[in-house]
Structure 1
Amino acid sequence: MHWLHMMKVFSPRLTNELLSLNEYSLIIGGDMNAVLDLNQDRSGVNHTKAQKRISDMFKAVVEFHHLTDIWRMHNPTSKDYTFFSTHHLTHSCIDYMLLAFEHPNLAQYTLNVW
């Protein structure tokens, strides 16, 4: 029998929580408040050091846990955004559905963004 465990995690604790779940297959979705790729997932050309650092940390967590961005897998060159910052006047993709590589069948489903 397979169990689905859902948990709400505030992002500063994300890495520790993920490490405690190493025996489970992961499907993570939500507003990560960070982008995986500054050039593809954020409009504008000027990125601060803090934005780069946060993006690098988020990418490291995703790579460490062998997660893949399902939407990006199906749309490798598309630029589509889920957030607009009125302060910075930039668009960003900060909402993700991340899937562990152990779930190849789930990745076959189509994701719609609306």
Structure 2
Amino acid sequence: MTEPQFSLYDLRVETIEGDKPFVCGHEIGSAFEVRGENLFFETDKPFSLYALSALLPLLPTKQRPLNEYDWMATDHVIACPDPHCGARFRISRIGKQVFTRSDTTIEPLLENNPWKE
């Protein structure tokens, strides 16, 4: 029997220009990548802690396959959490990785998993 597997998308989150001036310390083009559970930041490029804290809850969902009608599957530009700032953050899928269950958890796989669709 083969090991249970699942896929996650690798993501790139990049600072882009919005419709208002920046009032925070954002730099156009500053970015980071999400690969599996890890964040990879570009060297010598700042990324706002406050913007990161607003983006983090979205990233695990963006890594997973989504229903085409789900807003998470279509809305890829996120506003800066400061309502006065014009910065935006584009989330892009840049790759895909396959993970085995045993590499990510020690919890047993339930036969009647209530979270399974």
Bigger strand share: 2
TM-score, normalising length: structure 2? 0.25
Query: Looking at CA atoms only, which structure, 1 or 2, has the larger radius of gyration?
Result: 2
Higher RCO, 1 vs 2 (CA within 8 Å, ≥6 residues apart): 2
